[in-house]
Amino acid sequence: MRALEESRLSEGAVDFIDDAEMAVTLEQCRPDSVRVRDIIDKSLSKQHLTVAETADLLAADSPEAVEMIFAAARQLKRDVYGNRIVLFAPLYVGNDCVNDCAYCAFKRSNHQAVRRTLAGDEIRRQVEALESKGHKRLILVFGEHPRYDAAFIADTVKTVYSVRVGRGSIRRVNINAAPMGPEGYRIVRSAGIGTYQVFQETYHHETYARYHPAATRKGDYLWRLDALHRAMEAGIDDVGIGVLFGLHDWRFEVLGLVTHALDLQDRFGVGPHTISFPRLRPACGVVRDPKHVVSDHDFKRLIAILRLAVPYTGLICTAREPAELRREVMAFGVSQIDAGSRIEIGGYTEAGDAQCMEREQFELGDVRSLDEVMRELLADGYIPSFCTACYRLGRTGEHFMEFAIPGFIREFCTPNAVCTLMEFLVDYASPETRRAGEKLIAEQVARMPAGAIRNRVIENLEKIRTTDQRDLHF
């Protein structure tokens, strides 16, 4: 009975991806510059775009149109979200996997992979290492395997929250793990997770079937497409969608993401918390099909178009990408990045500087330390933030609030960003990073309007500098 209930789809679940219709929509778009301008203006006036409007932006590929889209994405990021970038780190817990996804080094047919699942004390050591670098937000990553059931994931989450090193603590634990049934989601939710991420990998049915053998759990397209609807039905408010770019035509995949986001929004009144857009990376035991490789230029286009299409959804750019490109796309509306990441199991305490392909899911493009990434962000005028306030105060849908509630960023986000930045500077930063950070904080405070919020920010910053008090949030 329990097993049957756990394999149930969400209420009224349907496969809302119509490949043929999406392909026709893409083929038929011939937008002129007036149409592109109108669509951009709609987005800049804080409305999300329809699938057809998104398709028009995807078809607008003249250099002038692309520059117009880039400029609009930069403007939306600057005017609506300001200059905060949230930082997190991935923690790979176990790479056993019953699936056989052709692109992934964890696939069960990859006998070169070194299989391992971290035990409780090993998890604690990884978290201690992450806390002592200054991390406050983690995403836990798992293969799909019966041993990584909801109870195991929930226990892991509780272990992570329990670790304290010095003034450090992990304040938000997100999850990237296989889809579950309703009871499973309720169990992980009660452990206090932040976002639950499941990437569809590709929305194109035929391609999906090619990369995910039918005889595997992941071979069931609808089970996966419906995963986050089930999660929301079970009360998880923050969910993250994503595509693994490089499996099929990137334009089609962007339409898939937007269709998915709008379907969640229609059904639950709120869209996904985040969208991830990993590009396929070299991996142990994996041969890549060059046909759908996404160039850097198209990668930038897809990020800018997603920013305009779903303006109130967070965008995550991971360390799969090289440092220079991450730096560039930050301006297009990326809101979260990971830094100081290691993806070998046990990699935060055991690995040297070189990446070990047999022990990781794929090769990383940016292996700089958290301190180095922070310094670059500061040099570029961003406020690196470890804020977790909304989630902990029950303010879910924070990106929507940032976007829709006048003054929200001024009253909550910027004060929390500068206070969490100050914690990092005092507790973990190199002298150089600290100097750059203190300068930026002083400029931010000087720009705040006089009044109660500014006074409290000044007070909190002083407490952080001179006492052990931490986690002073608005």
Q: Residue 107: name its binding partner from ligand SF4, ligand SAM, none (Cβ under 5 to 8 Å by kind).
A: ligand SF4
- Which segment (12-20, 141-149, 309-317, 384-392) binds ligand SAM by CB under 6 A? 141-149
Decide if residue 281 touches ligand SAM (CB under 6 A): yes
Residue 437 lies near ligand SF4 (rule: CB under 6 A) = no
Stretch that binds ligand SF4, among 42-50, 93-101, 125-133, 423-431 (CB under 6 A): 93-101
Beta-carbon count within 10 A of 417 CB: 25
> Can residue 361 be called a binding residue for ligand SAM (CB under 6 A)?
yes
Residues 6 or more apart in contact with residue 97 via CB below 8 angstroms: 104, 106, 107, 108, 143, 144, 145
Q: Which stretch binds ligand SF4 (CB under 6 A): 97-105, 269-277, 402-410, 459-467?
A: 97-105
Q: Please select the residue that binds ligand SF4; options are 56, 144, 226, 398, rule is CB under 6 A.
A: 144
Q: How many Cβ atoms are within 10 Å of 295's Cβ, its own excluded?
A: 10
One residue of 280, 304, 316, 429 binding ligand SAM per CB under 6 A: 280
Which among ligand SAM, ligand SF4, none contacts residue 238 (Cβ within 5 to 8 A by kind)? none
Return the C-alpha torsion angle 321, 322, 328, 331, nearest 10. 40
CA–CA dist 74, 71 (Å, integer): 5
In this structure, are strands 84-94 and 137-142 parallel, antiparallel, or unpaired? parallel
359, with CB counted inside 10 A (0-12, 13-18, 19+), is buried
Interface with ligand SAM by CB under 6 A: which range of 25-33, 45-53, 196-204, 346-354? Answer: 196-204
Q: Which is nearer to ligand SF4, 107 or 281 (CB)?
A: 107
DSSP state for residue 311 in the 8-state scheme: T
Under the binding rule (CB under 6 A), the answer on residue 212 touching ligand SAM is no
CB–CB of 422/465 below 8 Å?
Answer: yes
Tokens of 384: 């690196």
**Residue 283 sits in the site that holds ligand SAM (CB under 6 A):** yes
> What is the three-class DSSP state of 164?
strand
For 120, the token pair is 């409780």
Listed ranges 101-109, 167-175, 234-242, 329-337: which one lies at the site for ligand SF4 (CB under 6 A): 101-109
- Between vectors from CA 17 to CA 314 and to CA 215, what angle results, nearest 5°? 100
Residue 261: name the closest of 55, 77, 51 by CA: 51
* Count of residues touching ligand SAM (by CB under 6 A): 21
Question: In the range 310-329, which residues lie near ligand SAM by CB under 6 A?
Answer: 320
Sites of contact with ligand SAM (CB under 6 A): 103-104, 141-144, 176-178, 198-199, 201, 244, 278, 280-281, 283, 286, 320, 361-362
Q: Which residues bind ligand SF4 (CB under 6 A)?
A: 97, 99, 101, 104, 106-107, 143-144, 218
